[in-house]
Amino acid sequence: MQILWQYIVGVLTLCVVLLFWIREQRARRRFAGLSSYPLLPFIGNIHQIFGDSKALFRHMAHVSEVCENNESGMFVTWIGHCPLLIVQDPEDVRTITNAFVEKPYIYSFGKIWLGDGLVTAPVSTWKQNIRKLAGTFSSSVVDGYLGVFNAQAKKLVDNLLMEVGQEPFDIMQKYLAYTTLEAICQTALGVSKISENIVTTEYYVAFNRCLELLVNRGMNAFVHPDFIYKLTPKYQEIKKCVRVLHNVSDTVMRKRKHEREKLRKEEMKEKKTGDTEGPKLKAFLDILLDLREIDPSLTEQQIKSEVDTIIVGGQETVASTMFYTLLVLGCKTRVQEKVYAEMKSIFGDSTRPVTKEDLSEMKYLEAVINETLRMYPPLPGVLRYADRDLQIKSFTIPKGTICAINGWGAGRSASVWGKDSALYRPERWLEDQPPGNTASFLAFSYGRRACIGKKYAMAILKTVISQCVRELEFISEADNMQFKVDIGLRPTCGHLIQVRRRESLQK
Ligand code: HEM
């Protein structure tokens, strides 16, 4: 009897395995002809794509080269039975990013922190909220933030002046991360009026650890299911970090509401006496609270998620771009001197704050920032979920595929950028048809779910970098740099830079 049971269980197991195998073969046949790694049954390429963040970068760089050199411009890897299609051809990217708005399940790992904020929201929620939020970083709103950007730039320059004559130092960890985090907090939450000390070390540590834990989970397919992850110590740790982060946004939201009441009363008084000042900074949180007064469907929880999302979306990306730009300036004297010459022509020898008129004159600096973003995209890849079959140039993407839009590969592609694509050449952005708004430039993603903070990013980057270059010279070593991908693109050797005081200022 026992033998019979063993026999039945054995046959059933075999049937299930066979069914899985047939299903898998059928799915894999739809991708036949595309470049791929050799596959293992059932696990596909899990063992190749999930390693540490350095391995992830190597994988990305290798796949970019394969895509560049094969006819289809695509590559497929398999997370078990789930296909991950990597795409970098501009025409295909345009089609995919306009057709697919849904994000794959991996983004849901971030919900513990960001709830249903724009980045992690399912498409139904995203559609409702993007309409309300798309304009929140318009030019006029960003102009109102220039005071904060200038103050942060001055603080950074003062700190960097103290590093003059010292050994190379990690500019990101010591300064840039705080500069951008404080700027984002002040503009997103209006905290400059509440407390200068919102960006405490505890907050900063929790912030970075949270990102790290999310990456760790993404790279380990075994803890993807929620019920398994919740049993691990990492889940307890991420909950602890998130508590610190939410505590800040909760406290600030409460205080901000109080402040608003007070400010309103003051404004009424000012109106009565006609004693009004110029335009005041309107924090992102204020804009959302104003919206909530006319549209109660925007809940408190949603507002909090959006604020947390903006802080995450804006901090690391801007800091990283700032770092790579200063790094490149430090090892390309010609480029640094051209930026300096542009600043001289706008500001003379003055160290006065930057105005919005100055920003529009910084054409060469803008080209430098764009070229940096092309070659060092802070988010080198983003994902979309195929919620239906879709025909692209030479292939039909089956429903259920995860599409990876490869910003790293697209930015370095010779077929897109020309033979000198590996060369850092800002001048390409000043030629007749700059590629900024095409699907060849993917630093801010593309299509219907692209970045909404581009104007904000350009304004803070230009303000801070221009103030730095006016007073300081940067020296760095970027040859043979190695990278890793921790959600963002990071150098493995740290963020080392040296500074010298400008000679004209030494006299
Ligand atoms: C140089 C700086 C920046 C870069 C390179 C950048 C890049 C990106 C990318 C690639 C995405 C798409 C993410 C995805 O699909 O998974 C994105 C989305 C987003 N970014 Fe940025 N970003 C930058 C600055 C900012 C800033 C300053 C803010 C806000 C203050 C911001 C807010 C957002 C938001 C809210 C989204 C989600 C948009 C949506 O899903 O509708 N970003 N960004």
Q: Which residues contact 247 (CB under 8 A, 6 or more apart)?
A: none
Residue nearest atom 13 in ligand 1 by C-alpha distance: 382
Q: Is any ligand 1 atom within 6 A of the Cβ of residue 241?
A: no
Percent of the chain at pLDDT above 90? Answer: 54
pTM for the predicted model, two decimal places: 0.91
User: What sign does the CA torsion over 229, 235, 239, 245 have?
Assistant: negative
The yes-or-no verdict on residue 232 having pLDDT over 60 is yes
Mean pLDDT across 196-213: 81
Helices (H), 348-453: 356-361, 363-375, 407-411, 414-417
Lowest mean pLDDT across 65-69, 234-238, 269-273, 340-344: 269-273
| Confidence bin at 309 (pLDDT 50/70/90) | very high
Mean pLDDT across 456-477: 96
Confidence at residue 48, expressed as pLDDT on a 0 to 100 scale: 72
**Cα dihedral value 146, 150, 156, 160, nearest 10:** 140
496-501 and 472-475 beta bridge pairing: antiparallel
**Run of H or E residues at 497:** strand 496-501
Confidence at residue 278, expressed as pLDDT on a 0 to 100 scale: 47
Confidence at residue 274, expressed as pLDDT on a 0 to 100 scale: 58
Q: Is any ligand 1 atom within 6 A of the Cβ of residue 459?
A: no
Mean pLDDT across 13-20: 78
Find the distance separating the first CA and the last CA of the chain, reported in whole Å.
98
Average pLDDT, the chain: 88
Question: Strands, E, within 114-216: which ranges?
Answer: 169-170
Lowest mean pLDDT across 86-90, 181-185, 401-405, 423-427: 181-185
Of 24-28, 223-227, 297-301, 490-494, which one has max mean pLDDT? 223-227
| Confidence bin at 55 (pLDDT 50/70/90) | confident
Residue nearest atom 43 in ligand 1 by C-alpha distance: 451
Mean pLDDT across 201-215: 86
Which residue in 434, 150, 443 sits closest to 324, CA to CA? 443
Residue nearest atom 9 in ligand 1 by C-alpha distance: 444
The yes-or-no verdict on residue 507 having pLDDT over 50 is no
Confidence at residue 273, expressed as pLDDT on a 0 to 100 scale: 62
Confidence at residue 157, expressed as pLDDT on a 0 to 100 scale: 97
Per DSSP, the three-state class of 85 is strand
- State the closest ligand 1 atom to the C-alpha of 321, by its place in the atom list counted from 1: 1
Exposure b/e, 442-470, CB count within 10 A at least 16 = b: bbbbbbebebbbebbbbbbbbbbbbbbbb
| Confidence bin at 504 (pLDDT 50/70/90) | low
- Confirm or deny that 468 is annotated as ligand binding: no
- State the closest ligand 1 atom to the C-alpha of 126, by its place in the atom list counted from 1: 41
Which residue in 397, 383, 460, 505 sits closest to 176, CA to CA? 460
- State the closest ligand 1 atom to the C-alpha of 384, by its place in the atom list counted from 1: 15
Compute the distance between CA of residue 495 and CA of residue 90 in angstroms, rounded to an integer.
Answer: 31
Compute the distance between CA of residue 57 and CA of residue 10 in angstroms, rounded to an integer.
Answer: 42
Mean pLDDT across 17-45: 80
Among 88, 303, 310, 317, residue to substitute to test ligand 1 (most atoms within 8 Å of Cβ):
317
The better pLDDT of the pair 97, 70 is held by 97
Residues 116-139 have pLDDT tens digits of: 999 999 999 999 889 888 888 888
The better pLDDT of the pair 170, 21 is held by 170
Per DSSP, the three-state class of 498 is strand
Which residue in 157, 241, 162, 152 sits closest to 203, CA to CA? 241
Q: Which residues contact 134 (CB under 8 A, 6 or more apart)?
A: 452
Residues 414-458 have pLDDT tens digits of: 988 999 999 999 999 998 776 666 889 999 999 999 999 999 999
Mean pLDDT across 361-373: 97
The better pLDDT of the pair 313, 19 is held by 313
Of 29-43, 66-80, 263-277, 465-479, which one has max mean pLDDT? 465-479
Confidence at residue 2, expressed as pLDDT on a 0 to 100 scale: 78
The better pLDDT of the pair 289, 463 is held by 463
Q: Is any ligand 1 atom within 6 A of the Cβ of residue 315?
A: no
